[in-house]
Amino acid sequence: MGRVVASAPGKCILFGEHAVVYGQPAVAVAIEQRMIVEISTEDEISEWKLDGKEFDGSKHPHVQALRDRMWPKSVGATPLSVKIHGDIPAASGLGSSAALSVAACAALRAARGRWIRKNGDFSVPEDWAEGYHSSIEDTNSYADSENIRDSARRSGQNGVGHLHIFGQDSIDVEECSIVGHSIEAVAQGGRASPMDATTCAYGGIILLSDKLEPGVDWTGTRNLSTPNGDVSWEIHSVSAKSPDDLFLVIGHTGDYSSTAQQVKYVAELLEKDPLRMKEIEAIGHVARRGVDALLKGDYTAVGHAMKENQVLLSLLGVSSEKLDRLVEAANPSSLGAKLTGAGGGGCMIALTRNPKETSEAIELAGGRTWISKFNNKGLTLDAISDLPIWFPPGN
Ligand code: MEV
């Protein structure tokens, strides 16, 4: 039986959510909690299964979008059984859907493999005969399911006489991050930053900016045509020496909220009153101060920026009473606390050197907590057997 298991971490945002959708800088950190995706072929299944039940694409739009892109029935891809588990709560601002998309993208790629140019190098996207990567110009990964170009399943391009690779060699972190972002963009009505998908794919600490930042590793540019115009992000990986005694405490309000709705709420607010774009820019200024502090290793200033960011997010109207209560409870024992993700419910985070004290304070205020360190790994391929599961048409 062909089988692949891949996993990716969730994320929390130190500064800049919502404003990052409009191109402002933001920083996110991969957390210890992960989503695990297992795909396999089971004898005699004629249709896709998800967690043992018949797969319903309308209930699982992320999996449906991936299936359309990576596993098209129209060119003979066989039905799969998919199992999803992990310890990231859904609809809570911790990037569960991005982690799912990134891990599932890697699993499907490992299972189908990739055609590359004869004598090509699998790590050089220009040698690929199929796939999504920011350095391949003719890839339209941001189209919705019906309008995907054939780039993902093209054959015969980039040279004649292909070589087929599969498993770990066929996985490309940048591809998973791009596909993850494109699926978030579709799910969020065209307005989504690459923050979640990039952090879940690469792990560690990710900085998005409107310009190239010195002192950090640049990993690429992402462009997206949104209903508000074209937005472009420069993506960087930050290797800040985060001290061993620093922790993130995540506090869940117990309420769930839809990122798509929260993003829509902000878009409508800005449409009604374009002057409120000043608030988005103010979040950008605070995020920039936070980035400078992070790069200097000044965590007291990082905490201050988080606090200021929370005030601005509240003004924008994306916090909630419960989030405010948990943030207030965390403040005395931490360097800074704020909501994370889209807000309106879901989670807050506190940056702290006293994880036990901060966690108890949040729980006393009614939150459920998790503690996470920094420097968590990104996407991993965790198990494979009998690959490729489907051998896509090549020449
Ligand atoms: C969601 O985790 C973060 C938002 O900024 C949306 C996005 O960046 O696409 C609210």
> Model confidence at 159, in pLDDT bands (50, 70, 90)?
very low
Q: What is the mean pLDDT of residues 41-66?
A: 89
Backbone conformation region of residue 164, classed left if phi is above 0, alpha if psi is from -120 to 50, else beta: beta
Lowest mean pLDDT among 19-23, 90-94, 108-112: 90-94
Whole-number Å distance between alpha carbons of 251 and 236? 27
Q: Whose CA is nearest to atom 9 of ligand 1?
A: 192
What's residue 157's pLDDT? 54
366 or 245, which is more confident: 366
Q: What is the mean pLDDT of residues 330-342?
A: 98
Whole-number Å distance between alpha carbons of 98 and 187? 11
Question: Judging by beta carbons within 10 Å of its beta carbon (0-12, 13-18, 19+), is residue 314 exposed, middle or buried?
Answer: middle
What's residue 161's pLDDT? 56
pTM to 2 decimal places: 0.95
Cβ of 342 below 6 Å from ligand 1: yes
Q: What is the mean pLDDT of residues 260-268?
A: 96
CA 67, chain centre distance (Å):
18
**Domains of the chain with CATH codes:** 3-233+378-385 (3.30.230.10), 241-373 (3.30.70.890)
156 pLDDT higher than 80:
no
Backbone conformation region of residue 158, classed left if phi is above 0, alpha if psi is from -120 to 50, else beta: left
Question: Mean pLDDT, the chain, as a whole number?
Answer: 92
Q: What is the mean pLDDT of residues 235-247?
A: 85
Cβ of 259 below 6 Å from ligand 1: yes
In which residue are the tokens 């072929």 written?
Answer: 41
161 or 128, which is more confident: 128
Q: Which of 11, 13, 199 to mutate to test the pocket of ligand 1 (most atoms within 8 A of CB)?
A: 13
What's residue 282's pLDDT? 98
Helix axes 96-112, 173-187, angle to 10 degrees: 130
In which residue are the tokens 């920083």 written?
Answer: 27
Helix axes 61-70, 173-187, angle to 10 degrees: 130
34 pLDDT higher than 80:
yes
Cβ of 21 below 6 Å from ligand 1: yes
Lowest mean pLDDT among 50-54, 131-135, 160-164: 160-164
